[in-house]
């Protein structure tokens, strides 16, 4: 479990294809490694990776074909900068929001507007994620916990302060940048809970307008 509060920015040191999977080695920058052990989790641009090798300057992890398919890792190159956060300790402070490190999809930056005290960034999410993105709700972008300030269909807007721009890879964003998105975990569980007994039905059953009306969530005309 993570918080979305980035500890350091590292960069991809090497990428090694292993069949359909990949071994990635990340130079950790200023991320302290004294308390890291084999098997620990480190969120890398929001993707929870398991440490299989490490030193004071780097760690290596295996990235599955599934992760390559559903995250930005397929497009990363040696030198690509990545946000880093170690897993939350049980006695740690939850400074952002509950982040699982399981990316839901890849969004695209559509606008970057510079203001005096912040930068306004618009992101187009995959259509399938639009229902989970709410005004003033939480979203994770490349592992960073942020607040959604506007929503327009599957597009949403973020206000990012200078400190966040300086301490994360968000400062590198430009129109067309692909970013890992993780929606609010509570929204995911709420959707499943609302399905009730229908949750046991085979994949393909989903919550739609007819389902909501049947169960009293919409006014029947």
Contact 121, 176 (CB under 8 A): no
**159, 170, 151: which is closest to 83 by C-alpha?**
170
Q: Which helix (H) or strand (E) holds 194?
A: helix 185-194
pLDDT classification of 215: cutoffs 50, 70, 90: low
Structural domains present in the chain? 8-86 (2.40.30.20), 105-186 (2.40.30.20)
Question: Residue 141: what pLDDT?
Answer: 97
DSSP-assigned states of every residue in 97-145:
--B-S---EEEEEEEEEE-SS-EEEEEE--GGGGGG--TT-EEEETTEE
Cα–Cα dist 110/132, whole Å: 19
Convert the pLDDT of each residue in 141-156 to its tens digit: 999 999 999 999 999 9
Q: Among 163-167, 176-180, 210-214, whose mean pLDDT is lowest?
A: 210-214
pTM of the model: 0.85
C-alpha distances out from residue 87 to 28, 39, 66, 101, 106, Å: 15, 11, 21, 9, 22
Vertex 124 angle, CA 102 and 160, to 5°: 80
Q: Among 5-19, 27-41, 70-84, 194-208, whose mean pLDDT is lowest?
A: 194-208
Cα–Cα dist 135/72, whole Å: 25
Report the pLDDT averaged over residues 80-88. Answer: 95
């Amino acid at each position: 479990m993570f918080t979305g509060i980035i500890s350091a920015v590292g960069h991809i040191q090497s990428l090694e294809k292993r069949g359909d999977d990949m071994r990635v080695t990340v130079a950790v920058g200023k991320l302290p490694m004294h308390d890291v052990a084999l098997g620990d989790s480190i969120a890398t641009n929001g993707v929870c990776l398991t440490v299989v090798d490490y030193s004071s300057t780097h760690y290596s992890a295996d990235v599955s074909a599934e992760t390559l398919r559903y995250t930005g890792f397929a497009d990363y190159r040696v030198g690509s900068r990545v946000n880093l956060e170690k897993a939350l300790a049980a006695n740690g402070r939850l400074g952002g929001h509950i982040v699982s490190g399981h990316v839901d999809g890849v969004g695209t930056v559509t606008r970057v507007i510079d203001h005096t005290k912040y930068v306004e960034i618009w992101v187009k999410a995959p259509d399938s994620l639009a229902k989970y993105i709410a005004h003033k709700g939480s979203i994770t972008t490349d592992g960073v916990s942020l607040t959604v300030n506007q929503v327009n269909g599957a597009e949403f807007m973020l206000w990012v302060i200078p400190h966040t721009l300086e301490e994360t890879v968000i400062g590198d964003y430009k129109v067309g940048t692909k970013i890992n998105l993780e929606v609010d975990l509570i929204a995911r569980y709420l959707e499943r809970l609302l399905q009730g007994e229908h949750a046991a039905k085979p994949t393909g059953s989903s919550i739609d307008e007819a389902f909501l009306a049947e169960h009293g969530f919409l006014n029947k005309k």
